[in-house]
A and B are shown apart, each in its own frame.
Chain A
C-alpha cells in the first residue's frame, strides 16, 4: 500500500522550496469539524506548517521572509479534491485529451489529483502500460495521476488482466469502465483474485442486453424524442449483482457513476450490512435530469449512464448527503467535435467535467440548499481518498499541502474558450455559474494562481 503511494508521488516534485501564507480564508475541513476563518502556512517542504484560527479579524501568523502571501479573504480553503473518474485518453486518443491537457484542465477545475480510466489504446491492462501512464505523468502532468488498470485483458471480458503486475507498477484500482463486465462468473473470479491483494474493483454497472442499445433514459423523454430508451435496471441489476458478489467474495467494490434510485438503495443496504462497497456520483447526474434533453437533440447531454428522472436525481442527492455516495467523480469524458456533432444515436457517450464540477456543484447543489458546503467538501476530498485507501489530507500541521482555494463569488460563464481541456463537449456549455477554484496547491506547489493555471 505505502509502496504504491510512494511510486505515485515520486512523479511529483516534493515541495516547492517556497513558503506560502494564505491569510484570512474560510477554512473548511469536515474531517476536523472545522469551519472558521484562519491562516495557513505552507512550508518549503510541501507540508502544512501552521494553521491558526483567526478569532476576531486580526491575522496571527506573520509572513516569514520571502513568503508568498495570498489574501484569502472571502475565499474558502479546503483539502484538495481528487477525481476518481477521468478519461485522460493517452495513449491512443490524444486528439481528445492528453495527460498534459487533462491534468491541466484538472488544475483549472480545482483538483489536486485524478484517477485515470484504463480504456486507452492500448488498454492499460499490464504493468508496462501502467508504468507508461505514470512516466508520461511525471513528464507532463500538472497534478498527480493515479492510474487504474483493466479488470480483463483489453477490457474484453474474456481473460483476467495481470492485476499483481499492475499493482506493482502503481495501479490504484481495476475497472473495465466503458463497459460493464457482462459475465457474472468473470466478475466473481476478478473479485476473488483481487482479494489476494486487497485490490479495489471499480464497476461500470451496465447490463448491455437489458440496456438494448438505449441512448437516453427509458421514459417520457425517450418517447417524446423518439430515441431508444434504456431502463435504469440495466444499471441497478448489475449493481445488485456486484454487491452480492462482493458480499460473497469479501472483495472491495466501488460502484462508478451511480445514476438510479434503485442503485442508491442497494448500496445503502449493502453498506448497512457490512459489504465493502463504496460509490461515486457525477456532477451531471446530481444536478441534471432527463428533462434537460429537448428537441435540439444536444449530444453533449448524451452520456452513459444516461441522465435519469428527477426521482433518481433526488435519490442521488439524498445518498450523497447520507454518505451512501462516498465521492463525487466527474467521469470526465472528452470527445472531439466530429464525434459529437452527429445523429444523437451515433454520437459518443460522455461529457467533460473536470472544470465545471466545482462551479456546478456550488451553484446547483450548495446555493440551492440541497447539500451543505462541508458535506460537499467531504465528498470531493476525503471521500475519494477513503475509496482509494490514500492517506488523508487534513487542514492541520504536518499534513501534505494538497489544497484548493475557492472563490464562492467568482462568476463563471462556461464557454469553449473558458474550458482549457482539449475537448469542449461539456453538458454545461452556456451556463452562468457562481463559485470556482482560484488556486490549487499540490504538495505546496501552486499549480493554479488566481484562476490561471501556472504553466
Chain B
C-alpha cells in the first residue's frame, strides 16, 4: 500500500499525481467493501481522529465520521456549537489542547482560509482539510475525481466545466488545480463577479456564459448558489441566474454532449442551479459522489495514517 508523502492534506497540491491515482485506486477497494454487509475494517484501530467542524456541515462531517468508523478509528466530533471557539478560545489554544490529548489526526473545517495551515504549524497531529473558507476542499476534489475516473476511465483530456460562484468556492479552489495537473481542462463558467481574481492561478480557463461552452464539456460540475450572494450584488436574482447558468432539460438534452456527466457537491438548490428533471437523469451522478466520498476519505486516512497490511 503506497502512503502519502505529505504529512498533511491541506491543499490538493499536497498530493502528487501518482498519489492522487493511488487514492482513487484504494478508494475503489474501499468502495467494494462498503457494499458488503459488514463494512468495518480493523485498519486504524487505536488511532484517534478529531473532526473539528467550526462551520456547519452535514454531509462532509458524516462522510468523514463514517469513514473513520469503518476503519475502526476512535473519533470525536467538535462542532461549532460544542467547540470552545464559540467561547472565545483562540485557534492556537484549540490546537494545543487537542495536541495535548495526543490525537493522530484532525479533520478541520472552518470559514477562514488558511485555518488548517495554522493548525498544522502548531500541532503534531496530521491535518486533513475538510474545507477552509474560500480556499480549498481537497477530499471533495478526490471524490469528484473518483466519480469522473470511474465513469470515463480517465481524467486526462477531459473538459470540465465548473459553473457558479467560483470566487467563494473552495470546491473549485481544489478541483481546478487538480484537473489541470492531471491533464484535463477546467473551465470556470460564471459572470465576472463570481470569477476568482486570477483564474489562471488555479489552472482554469474562463467562460462568461454556459451555453457557449456546454457543447464541449465532458463534465458539468454545478456549484451551489447561495441565496445571499445571488440577490443584487453579484447577479440580479436567482431567477436570472437560473436562466443563464442553471442546468435544465433543454440544456441537458440539446446542448450537452450525450455522454457527458453532471456533478454537484451538494446540497443542491432544486430549481436554481439544477432542475428536478436533471436530478432524476442517470447522467446526474450526485449520489455516486456521495458514495465515493466515504471510500475516498477511507483511502486518504488509511494512506496518511499508514494502516498496516493489505486492505483485505
Contacts and interface: CB of A to CB of B under 8 A. Distances in A.
Interface in B109-135: 110, 112-115, 117-118, 121, 132-135
Nearest to B114: A297
A228 B173 CA distance: 13
A98 B192 CA distance: 46
Given A218-B197, A225-B135, A229-B197, A341 B112 contact: no
Contacts of B197: 218-220, 222-223, 229
Contact of A341 (B92, B134, B170): B92
Contacts of B92: 341
B132 A226 contact: yes
B53 to A, nearest CB: 15
B90 A342 contact: yes
Nearest to A337: B92
A223 B198 CA distance: 6
Contacts of A223: 196-199, 201-202
A296 interface: yes
Contacts of B121: 296
B121 to A, nearest CB: 7
Interface string A79-105: 000000000000000000000000000
A287 B115 CA distance: 27
| B: interface residue count bin | 20 to 34
User: Interface residues of A: mostly helix, strand, loop or mixed?
Assistant: loop
A452 interface: no
A302 to B, nearest CB: 11
Contacts of B115: 343
Nearest to A293: B114
A223 B199 CA distance: 8
B22 interface: no
A228 B134 contact: yes
Given A295-B11, A342-B91, A227 B113 contact: yes
B198 A297 contact: no
Contacts of A341: 90-92
B174 to A, nearest CB: 9
Contacts, number: 65
A343 B173 contact: no
Size range of the interface on A? 20 to 34
Nearest to A342: B91
Contact of A227 (B118, B135, B199, B201): B135
Give the one of A218, A296, A297, A346 with max B CB within 10 A. Answer: A297
A345 B90 contact: no
B114 A226 contact: yes
B103 to A, nearest CB: 20
A344 interface: yes
A368 interface: no
Contacts of B170: 226
B113 A226 contact: yes
Interface string B171-213: 0010000000000000000000000111101100000000000
Contact of B133 (A219, A226, A296): A226
B136 interface: yes
Interface in B41-93: 90-92
Contacts of B135: 225-227
Contact of B113 (A220, A296, A342, A344): A344
A344 B201 contact: no
Contacts of B196: 223
Contacts of B117: 295-297
Contacts of B198: 219-220, 222-223
* Top 3 A-B pairs, shortest CB-CB distance: A226-B135, A297-B114, A226-B113
Given A222-B197, A226-B135, 13 more contacts: A219-B198, A224-B202, A226-B113, A226-B134, A227-B114, A295-B11, A296-B121, A297-B114, A341-B90, A341-B92, A343-B91, A343-B114, A344-B112
5 contacts: A219-B197, A220-B198, A297-B114, A343-B114, A343-B115
